[in-house]
Structure 1
Amino acid sequence: MRKQMGFRWNLRRLMADRDMFQTTDLVPKLAEYGIHLSREQVYRLVTQNPQRLSMDTLAALCGILQCTPADLIKVVEVRMQVAKPAASGESATSAVAPPSRRTHVRRPEGL
């Protein structure tokens, strides 16, 4: 077993704890902190694990939700299974696949 670190993004849960159920609720609150994101960007920030996040945005979220970065980001250990090399001499690595997400494609009206 090989150890790899990952994280759990708790923004949606923290918003719900504060009776904020719409991602659009964050747009004006972030703007008060000088963070101007589109509705789509805020939606992705709430619903997906961010791979990059500016410190200004993190600080604004902490201010809005009255929390700390540790409340927003929970570091977790991800266990990776490393397979032994195949008999033919090829090396094979097997990792636990992340859970898949269902994708919805929305087309603009009139097309």
Structure 2
Amino acid sequence: MASATGHGHPRDVPDQRVEPLLAERGVHLSREQVYRLVTQAPQRLNMDVFAALCDVLGCGPQDLVEVVAAPQQVRKTVAGGETAKSGVGDLRPVRAKIRRPDNS
């Protein structure tokens, strides 16, 4: 993908150049965050960061995101042909245990 600014994909732009360009647009990330953003596919991304990346790279969202259809899950049936009723509603929270460090 080429862009009007000549930057291309985030992986094509050195991370030391991305950080100040994002900062100009009000997005402040640590060097580690920028490095991960440039070298890895993010699992989730803030919309402000995404918009700033599109602006920096001179491209649109469709140039940075590839939509892939996920396989549809088929509901399992129990004996007798009824649909199994398990889901999020069956889950119950577990109480967290907070332990303070020993001050010895």
TM-score normalised by L of structure 2:
0.55
SS in 2 for 1:75: coil
Residue 73 of structure 1 is matched in structure 2 by 65
1:66 corresponds to which letter in structure 2? G
Which structure carries more relative contact order (alpha carbon 8 Å, separation 6+)?
1
1:59 aligns with 2:51: yes
Q: CA deviation at 1:77?
A: 3.5
Equivalent pairs, count: 67
Identity of aligned residues (%): 54
Unpaired segments ≥5 residues, structure 1: 1-11, 81-111
The aligned residue for residue 40 of structure 1 is: 32
- Paired residue type of 1:35: V
Amino acid at match of 1:14: H
Which residue number in structure 2 is paired with residue 14 of structure 1? 9
> How well do the aligned residues superpose, as a CA RMSD in angstroms?
2.2
- When you count strand as a share of all residues, which structure comes out higher? 1
The CA deviation string for residues 15-36 of structure 1, in whole angstroms up to 9 with x for no partner, is 42xxx3x111100000000000
Partners of 2:62 and 2:49 lie apart in 1 by 15
Q: Distance in 2 between matches of 1:78 and 1:44?
A: 25
Q: Secondary structure at the match of 1:58?
A: helix
Q: CA deviation at 1:38?
A: 0.8
Following TM superposition, the consecutive aligned residue runs of length 4 or more in structure 1 with deviations greater than 3 angstroms are 77-80
TM-score of the superposition, structure 1-length normalised? Answer: 0.52
Q: Which runs of 5+ in 2 are unaligned?
A: 1-6, 73-104
| 2:8–2:57 contact (8 Å) kept in structure 1 | no
